[in-house]
Amino acid sequence: MTEVICHRGYSSRYPENTILAFQKAVESGADGVELDVHLTRDGEVVVIHDERVDRTTDGVGYVKDHSLAELRRLNAAYGWRTAPQRIPTLEEYLELIAPTGMKSNIELKTGLFDYEGMEEKVWNQICRFGLENRVILSSFHAQTLLRVKALAPEAPCGLLNQDKLLSPGQATRDLGFEAYHPLYLRLRPGVIRELKACHLEINAYTVNGHGPLTYLFAWDVHSVITNHPRRALTLRRLIQGNPGLTNPKIVVK
């Protein structure tokens, strides 16, 4: 059965990548959480999507230019009608998620800045909580994941991609990764077949609409990463709980 993964927590209803959004993701009944990590100026692993704090907080500037103490003073629920939220550390997230049994898809955000030592810091924290078998590390940058594999060959890794590739399965497998994380619009039937033939997990992002969710449930991909977990769970129950309704010819829109 396809897993439903909450994109940045329950981000359609709560401030993304906050403890509140992660708590609500747990309560939603979803199978896991997707989150993003950066390093602070003083080397702490924090959970936030953008390289800059401007969009999601009341602060300005790059995450890497702030200490953890400085980031703690920002409101990560800026623009939301909720109580103020702090930017969480990865440790705080793992402490919350460890007792739940949920899986975690942790994206290493090395697109603009190649944070030295981040891979090791992240993996060490995962191991400290005993979550090695409930985590996958993802990145748009193969070199980041190759560094993960160099320090922990057993670490599950997923290559993120939003572009069209002729043979994404073969390319991902040749790199030694276990999963491919495509923009859902790239998952045409031929691509899905090739990825399945390569025995890779297909973890599609960011899948919100009824049509795309139905299409991917019909193809039984490994997981969908969504801002709307309750919608996805309802559709999964309808589609995968009733095999007669499955129709892989549904078109992604």
**In the prediction, which pLDDT does 166 show?**
81
**In the prediction, which pLDDT does 242 show?**
80
- Return the structure tokens found at 59: 């602060």
* Enzyme catalytic residues: 7, 49
Per-residue pLDDT of the chain (253 residues; tens, 9 = 90+): 999 999 999 999 999 999 999 999 999 999 999 999 999 999 999 999 999 999 999 999 999 999 999 999 999 999 999 999 999 999 999 999 999 999 999 999 999 999 999 999 999 999 999 999 999 999 999 999 999 999 999 999 999 999 988 899 999 999 999 999 999 999 999 999 999 999 999 999 999 999 999 999 999 999 999 999 999 999 999 999 886 665 545 444 4
Burial 170-199 (b: 16+ CB within 10 A, else e): ebbbeeebebbbbebebbeeebbebbbebe
Q: For the chain, list the domains and their CATH numbers.
A: 3-245 (3.20.20.190)
Helix axes 142-151, 118-128, angle to 10 degrees: 50
Query: What whole-number distance in Å separates Cα of residue 232 and Cα of residue 155?
Result: 28
**In the prediction, which pLDDT does 244 show?**
63
pTM of the predicted structure, to 2 decimals: 0.95
**In the prediction, which pLDDT does 164 show?**
87
β strands within the chain, DSSP E? 3-7, 32-39, 45-47, 103-108, 135-139, 157-161, 179-182, 201-204, 223-226
Query: What whole-number distance in Å separates Cα of residue 27 and Cα of residue 129?
Result: 21
Query: What whole-number distance in Å separates Cα of residue 19 and Cα of residue 8?
Result: 10
Phi and psi at 89, nearest 5°, equal -85, 160
